[in-house]
Amino acid sequence: MRISIFGLGYVGTVSLACLARDGHHVIGVDIDPGKLAMLRDGRSPIIEAGMPELVSDVVATGRVTVTDDVTAAVGGSEMSFICVGTPARPNGSQDLRALERVSMELGRALVTKTAPHLIVVRSTALPGTVDGVLVPLLEAHSGLRSGDGFDVCFQPEFLREGSSIQDYDHPPFTIVGAAADRPVRLLRELFGGLPCAFHVCNVRTAEMLKYACNAFHALKISFANEMGRVCQSMGIDTHAVMDLVCSDTRLNISAAYLRPGFAFGGSCLPKDLRALLHAAGRRDVEIPLLSGVLTSNEAHLRYGIDAVLTTGATSVGMLGLSFKSGTDDLRDSPLVAMAERFIGKGLKVRIYDPEVNLSRLVGANRRYIEESIPHIGSLMYAEPGPVIDESDVLVVGLRTPEVVSELLGRCREHHTIVDLVNLPDRNRLRGQYHGVCW
Ligand SMILES: NC(=O)c1ccc[n+]([C@@H]2O[C@H](COP(=O)([O-])OP(=O)(O)OC[C@H]3O[C@@H](n4cnc5c(N)ncnc54)[C@H](O)[C@@H]3O)[C@@H](O)[C@H]2O)c1
């Protein structure tokens, strides 16, 4: 294929060299004449393992040209990759000037092109940037409509500096955010052979994915570093601990706990986190990330509570009370905290939880209800029916087949359903649906 690449920094230059290595004809475009001159001479404008040799080789093949003439680059290629920088301004907002400028230039160049052109955005940009900033500029400066003369898609880049050629050849996955088939078809032709999954999604999902991945990577590093500081303060070998943490691919290094849902609770996570924070505090070890976890959880609980209170309803039915389905453990259950808040606000509260049946409860749980939340025990119903029928807002903290079928059968238009569990069949529910995380 013939590909033009706009922006010859880390992403653009590595793409240029690897695409040319793989037999494609590549035209590099940059506003920096120094970078163009270096590439023309077969020298890499970036310092990166393997790049000096690769650039020299691919330039020698004649498959690489460089120019600052945007019209010639667009005219001489089937698709253009946008790889310009999107740096942060001092307040953290993204500086889109390079993206805007390149979009205007590409728009003007499209005027002279008769064949369809594909624009592939590789720069990292916040969700909405492609459809809200780039496409309007391309349309305004070309007089064409996106999808009619040119297509735009978003393909996030996952290479890491220092191992970028290796990452180009072995990405974690290929993601194409597109609203049409043509971009997907062309990019599958180009990257479908890589040893990874090829996912197609909408543009905003692809834009957000890059931020989700980078935020997660940053979070992992900071988590490991905080655990390292705590371990060190206690004379424990951090690597011995973290090696074992990483060896658990069922609960730790897995998709477990990585789906948005309701606030965590129960008898272990909050208690053990608090004990760790206390132990670190006693040793003057700062762990702001771990300290922030409980604050984050409380914010999430408030989000669910506010979803109910802002409806102005006077009665609330709670389907589920324990901290998760399949247990009767009420200690530190966020649903108990919710119920207490509703009671405090004067709402009429009705609760159904088949696992939490006072007559069956024994031991610590029975004692907990009788001593700590006796007022809640008296609000429990043995059947979900009356809870649904007699309440305006329904907080759903259980997704058992029984609860789902009762909701489908009994919900009416006046109900507001606050879903904490990602209910199946939600389109079939009557009433106002409000998902807390989805
Ligand atoms: N560096 C990485 O490891 C990496 C990895 C993944 C994603 N990204 C993202 O990719 C994008 C590019 O990153 P980078 O590190 O390669 O940037 P960079 O700053 O190294 O390079 C950007 C290049 O774009 C050129 N440029 C600016 N305006 C231009 C224009 N109008 N026309 C042509 N060229 C122009 C600049 O001269 C520069 O050479 C950023 O959005 C970044 O967040 C970077």
Report d(CA 423, CA 408) in Å as an integer: 11
State the pLDDT at residue 14: 98
| Burial environment of residue 310 by CB neighbours within 10 A (0 to 12, 13 to 18, 19 or more) | exposed
How far away, in angstroms, is 124 Cα from ligand 1 center?
Answer: 9
Query: Is residue 85 within 6 Å of ligand 1 at its C-beta?
Result: yes
State the pLDDT at residue 358: 62
Compute mean pLDDT per 10 residues along the chain, 438 residues long, and list them: 98 98 98 98 96 98 98 98 97 97 98 96 98 98 96 97 96 97 97 97 98 98 98 98 98 95 89 97 98 96 95 96 80 90 95 78 72 83 94 94 94 94 90 85
How far away, in angstroms, is 85 Cα from ligand 1 center?
Answer: 3
Best residue among 6, 10, 51 to mutate for probing ligand 1, ranked by most atoms within 8 Å of CB:
10
Query: Is residue 226 within 6 Å of ligand 1 at its C-beta?
Result: no
How far away, in angstroms, is 184 Cα from ligand 1 center?
Answer: 23
Q: How far is CA 168 from CA 51, 162, 372, in A?
A: 12, 12, 57
Residue nearest to atom 4 of ligand 1 (CA): 11
Report d(CA 24, CA 61) in Å as an integer: 11
β-pairing, 149-154 with 64-67? unpaired
Which atom of ligand 1 has the smallest separation from the CA of 32? 37
Report d(CA 416, CA 435) in Å as an integer: 10
Active-site pick, 153, 246, 268, 411: 268
Residue nearest to atom 1 of ligand 1 (CA): 10
State the pLDDT at residue 56: 98
Q: pTM (2 decimals)?
A: 0.93
State the pLDDT at residue 34: 98
Best residue among 13, 29, 30, 35 to mutate for probing ligand 1, ranked by most atoms within 8 Å of CB:
30
State the pLDDT at residue 359: 59
Is 268 considered catalytic here? yes
Phi, psi of 106 (to 5 degrees): -65, -40
Query: Is residue 83 within 6 Å of ligand 1 at its C-beta?
Result: yes
Query: Is residue 6 within 6 Å of ligand 1 at its C-beta?
Result: yes
Which atom of ligand 1 has the smallest separation from the CA of 35? 39
Query: Is residue 7 within 6 Å of ligand 1 at its C-beta?
Result: yes
Q: How far is CA 307 from CA 40, 199, 419, 437, in A?
A: 60, 34, 10, 11
Helix 10-21 and helix 33-40, axial crossing angle in degrees, nearest 10: 20
State the pLDDT at residue 295: 96
State the pLDDT at residue 426: 87
State the pLDDT at residue 46: 95
Query: Is residue 386 within 6 Å of ligand 1 at its C-beta?
Result: no
Query: Is residue 35 within 6 Å of ligand 1 at its C-beta?
Result: yes
How far away, in angstroms, is 154 Cα from ligand 1 center?
Answer: 15
State the pLDDT at residue 366: 74
Report d(CA 420, CA 305) in Å as an integer: 11
